Amino acid sequence: MRVLVSHCDDRPSEAVRFRAAWLRAGGEEGEFVFVTPSTAADVSPPSTAFDGLLLAGGPDVEPRRFGVDPQPGVELRLDPARDALDLELLDRAAREGRPVLAICYGCQLLAASAGGTVVQDLERAGKTGHTVPEPKDRQTHDVIVSPNARFLPAAGGRFAVNSRHHQAVAEPGDGLSVAARAPDGVVEAIEAGTGDRFVLGVQWHPENMSQQEHVAIFRAFRSACLRRAGGRG
């Protein structure tokens, strides 16, 4: 099985954290193939098959990707090459029916790819307490999971997450629905609203968490990838 993991060129430590999370969920060494904008031509040419796509966290989504201008006074850390790579991979995953797990920035870009929108700065929108960068596994707040959530654990319940983002999904976009919110109403997870394909975006970082709810996310994603691969390990 081959799962592409897209991350930024300047964040090589992502590979260590995601491998550890994958192993906690029952994954095997060698199932992940890491790709960045600088390695994409060699690692993931159009002819190369993959069984799932994982978008790691990263920069801020370029506002033009969701049809607006940058908000005056908001400091944005942009990576147009990462945006372009991930949008291309999301498009291909959709065409080929591949499972997708999108984390933090990836969740926001997933929404933008479906015509959704992003809150450019939560503090300016009056939503505080979502940017707690360290320690990476700190349980910052709960998420309230929709009773209709299809791919998240604890449907109709709640569990604690870490939180280190200043942006969030505003509108999830066509074919996607809100799967979880923070107590203050901020969108914390989106997912495919219909169909059998596993498509889930979460705003927190489950790769840094060892509690069962977070491990379950990777386990469910891996199961979907294995089904798409026809049961190959």
> Can you give the pLDDT at residue 25?
97
Question: Closest by alpha carbon to 26, among 60, 6, 1, 43?
Answer: 1
> Can you give the pLDDT at residue 90?
97
For 119, the token pair is 């809150």
> Can you give the pLDDT at residue 178?
98
Q: Would the pLDDT of 193 be above 70?
A: yes
Q: Stretch 8-19: mean pLDDT, rounded? A: 90
The single residue of 7, 166, 205, 214 carrying the catalytic annotation is 205
pLDDT digits (tens, 9 = 90+) for 104-129: 999 999 999 999 999 999 999 999 99
> Can you give the pLDDT at residue 164?
94
Could you tell me where the DSSP H helices lie in 52-104? Answer: 80-96
> Can you give the pLDDT at residue 233?
40
Q: Would the pLDDT of 232 be above 60?
A: no
> Can you give the pLDDT at residue 48?
77
* 194 alpha carbon, distance to own chain's centre: 18
Domains of the chain: residue spans and CATH: 3-228 (3.40.50.880)
pLDDT digits (tens, 9 = 90+) for 195-231: 899 999 999 999 999 999 999 999 999 999 999 998 5
Q: What is the mean pLDDT of the chain?
A: 94
198 within 8 A of 3, measured Cβ to Cβ: no
Active site residue 205: yes
Reported confidence tier of residue 10, pLDDT bands at 50, 70, 90? confident
More confident residue, 43 or 169: 169
pLDDT digits (tens, 9 = 90+) for 29-78: 999 999 999 999 888 777 678 999 999 999 999 999 999 999 999 999 99
The single residue of 8, 104, 107, 225 carrying the catalytic annotation is 104
pLDDT digits (tens, 9 = 90+) for 134-150: 999 999 999 999 999 99
pLDDT digits (tens, 9 = 90+) for 126-135: 999 999 999 9
Q: Distance (Å, rounded) from C-alpha 223 to C-alpha 166?
A: 31
The single residue of 191, 207, 213, 214 carrying the catalytic annotation is 207
Q: Distance (Å, rounded) from C-alpha 129 to C-alpha 141?
A: 8
Active site residue 207: yes
> Across the chain, how many H-helices and E-strands are there?
5, 11
Neighbours of 203 (CB within 10 A): 29
